[in-house]
Amino acid sequence: MTSTLDVGDARLAYTEAGSGRPVVWLHGSGPGATGMSNFGGNLPAFADHRNIVVDLPGWGESPRPETDEPLIFHAADRVCRAMTALGIERAHLVGNSYGGAVAMRIAMRYPDRVDRLVLMAPGGVLPADAPPWPVGLERLFGYMAAEKPSRDAMAEFVRLMVYDESLATEALIDERYESSLRAHPELPIPPNFGDLTPDLGRIAAPTLLVWGREDQTVPLTWAPRILDGIPNAELRVLPHCRHWVQYERAPEFNHIVREFLQGGAAAAAEG
């Protein structure tokens, strides 16, 4: 069940499940994305945590923000306000793509609020030779820019997100398409995301990068700049997998992330 929070100048929608050490889940920016569409299938594996699954500003049931501030910066501040409203002083952050960029921004600006950081092919850091855009980003921006995007365009987008196209089910395409129409366009075109590159070294939290080897949206070739920039980062690469690692390779993803977060719990117990 989705609830909403007043975060000062906006309302933020979220779903809460489980109990224990808090984990905040931050979704990607694809059309029709919501917190639960990205992570709903993973939550049962994390029932021993207090899971806060956010709809970032402009997606799902969170209204589109009225701001000229870079979207990553704006969203990061509102997520921190939501954590405060929920009585969460400190949490693990798990972010996919755009949500990974939001998680990095929080870790840079509010380091005392982050335990461990899990980033799946995060945005916000571009190599110097990034353009022309990978095909997944081209489809994403093209869908957002369309006056009335079609279901066929959504089907093409969803199929690009997974290596095994059998996972791009008709039900999933319908769900994402209907969600996208309710909030279209979630992004301003062109989007002003913001650049996190100069501040990567400020991320003190232990960080796990998880990448699909065949990602066509945020390619694996973009990973080294982040891996080299974050002082305490490690990288896991899953073969035969594209951008939606947490969906396409859910059992492996759940195992890897649980193991990483439990490392944080062990360190806290020893301290």
65, 58 Cβ separation under 8 angstroms: yes
Cα angle: 108, vertex 27, 85; to 5 degrees: 65
If residue 17 lies in a helix (H) or strand (E), which one and from where to where? Answer: strand 11-17
> Distance between CA 33 and CA 28 in Å, rounded?
7
Active-site annotation holds for 49: no
Q: Tell me, letter by letter, the H, E, C secondary structure of 179-219.
A: HHHHHCCCCCCCCCCCCCHHHHHHCCCCEEEEEECCCCCCC
27, 49, 74, 243: the active-site residue: 243
Sole residue written with tokens 């704006």: 74
12, 55 Cβ separation under 8 angstroms: yes
**Catalytic residue IDs:** 243
